[in-house]
Structure 1
Amino acid sequence: MLKLLIFLLLINVSASEIKDFSMPNYSTAVSRVIIDYIKNFFLNVTNTVNFYQMSLENNLNVNFDIMNEVLYNVKTKTVVQVDSFEDSKISIVKHYVNIIFFDCFESFEKIYKKMTLKKFDYQGFFLIIITTHMNDIYKTMHRIFDALWVHHIINANIIFMPEENNNEALIYTFFPYSRFYCENVVPLQLNHYRGQKWINKINYFPHKLQNFYGCTLRVATFPNPPFMIINQDKITGQVSVDGLDGTMIRVLSQHFNFNVQLSLPAELWGDIYENGTTTGAIKMVINEEVNMTLGFFATNPSRDAVMKSGYVYYTTNLVWIVPPGKPQTSLQKLLNPLDTNFWILSSITILIGLLAIAILKKQKKIVQNFVFGTSMQSPGMNLINIIFGGSLHHLPKRNFARFLMGLFLFFTFILRSCYTGGLVKFMQMDTRGKRVLSTAEMLEHNFTFYMYPSSRSYFLEMPQILERTKFVTASEFNSKLKQLTVDPYYDAAFITSIGHLAYRNLLVFPHRFHHHAPEALYTLNIVIYMHKESCLALPFNSAITNLVNGGLVSKWASKWINGKYLKEIVDESPDPLSMMQLEGCFQLLYVGLIMSSFIFIMEVFVSHKKGIKLKISKNIKTIKINLRKYFSN
Structure 2
Amino acid sequence: MDNVSIHLFAHVLFSPNLCGKFSLKLLNSFDLKSQKWKNELKNFNHFDNFHGCLMTFYVEFGINFYYDDYKPTSSLEFKLGDDIKLRGLTHEIVKKLTKDLNITGHYTVGDRNLGEFLSGSKNFIGYNEIASHFYSVGFTGIYTAVHNSHLGYTMEYYYLVTQNDMYTNYEKLLMPFDLTTWILLSVTISLAFGIIFVSFKFPKWLQILIHGAGIKDPAFKTLGVIFGIAQLKLPQKTVNRFVLGLFLWFCLMFRTCYQSMLFEFMTSDMRKPLPASIDDLREMNYTIVLLKTYFNFLEKTNEDIINVREKPNFIRNNFNEIFDLYKKSLKEDNEQKYAFLVNEFFHAQLNSTFKNSLPIMHNEKLQQMVGYMTNKNMLMQSKFDELLEKLIPSGIIKHYSGYGKWFIYRPVDFEVKDPRRILSMTDLEFGFVIWLVSLSLPIICFLIEISIGFYIKIKTSIKMFITTRIVEIILDKLIQNLNGKW
TM-score band (shorter)? 0.3 to 0.5
Task: Report which of the two structures shows the higher radius of gyration computed on alpha carbons.
Answer: 1
**More RCO (CA 8 Å, sep 6+):** 2
- The TM-score with structure 2 as length reference comes to 0.38
